[in-house]
């Protein structure tokens, strides 16, 4: 079974999408068997156009990605849950550990700062996972 990382942001359309895309890309480069997925607590209908454009320019295709609502079962079955500004409230099962990357600004305010911070977090995460999963 693959290691699953669930990235969450309120709208499931920007920060969590970038984090999952970068994580999946880096994991592939290092040969790590993991699945990085994104979801939101109040998902938008589509991925943020500026995020989709940025990732497309970096060779990451999101044309088929549709933001979706996180479900409680995912929170209990994911190997790791990372929140980028989500309030999970009653959805969070008791005892579920959540890492918080709440200092990432909304991409709508400054896309490049958000991207750079997310990449820094993801790179550190993948380095940690290289040791843990090998």
Confidence check: pLDDT of 102 > 70: yes
Percentage of the residues of the chain whose pLDDT score is greater than 70: 99
Structure token digits, residue 85: 């500004």
- Report the chain's C-alpha Rg in angstroms: 14
The pTM of this model reads 0.95
Q: Which pLDDT tens digit goes with each residue over 104-117?
A: 999 999 999 999 99
Beta strands 34-40 and 99-100 are unpaired
What are the structure tokens assigned to 10, written together? 């309120």
Tens-place pLDDT, residues 13-71? 999 999 999 999 999 999 999 999 999 999 999 999 999 999 999 999 998 999 999 99
Looking at residue 88, its pLDDT comes to 87
pLDDT higher than threshold 70 for residue 1: no
Domain regions of the chain by residue span: 3-133
The three-state secondary structure class of 127 is: helix
Helix (H/G/I), strand (E/B), else coil: 67 = coil
Identify the CATH homologous superfamily for domain 3-133.
Response regulator (3.40.50.2300)
84 contacts 15 by C-beta, under 8 angstroms: yes
């Amino acid at each position: 079974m693959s290691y699953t990382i669930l990235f969450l942001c309120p709208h499931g359309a920007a920060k969590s999408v970038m984090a999952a895309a970068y994580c999946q890309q880096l994991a592939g480069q290092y040969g790590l068997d993991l699945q990085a997925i994104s979801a939101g607590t109040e998902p938008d209908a589509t991925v943020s156009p500026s995020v989709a454009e940025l990732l497309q320019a970096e060779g990451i295709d999101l044309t088929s990605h549709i933001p979706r609502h996180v479900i409680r079962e995912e929170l209990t079955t994911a190997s790791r849950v990372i929140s980028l500004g989500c309030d999970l409230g009653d959805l969070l099962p008791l005892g579920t550990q959540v890492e918080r990357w709440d200092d990432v600004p909304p991409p709508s305010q400054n896309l490049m700062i958000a991207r750079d911070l997310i990449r820094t977090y993801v790179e550190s995460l993948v380095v940690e996972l290289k040791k843990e999963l090998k």
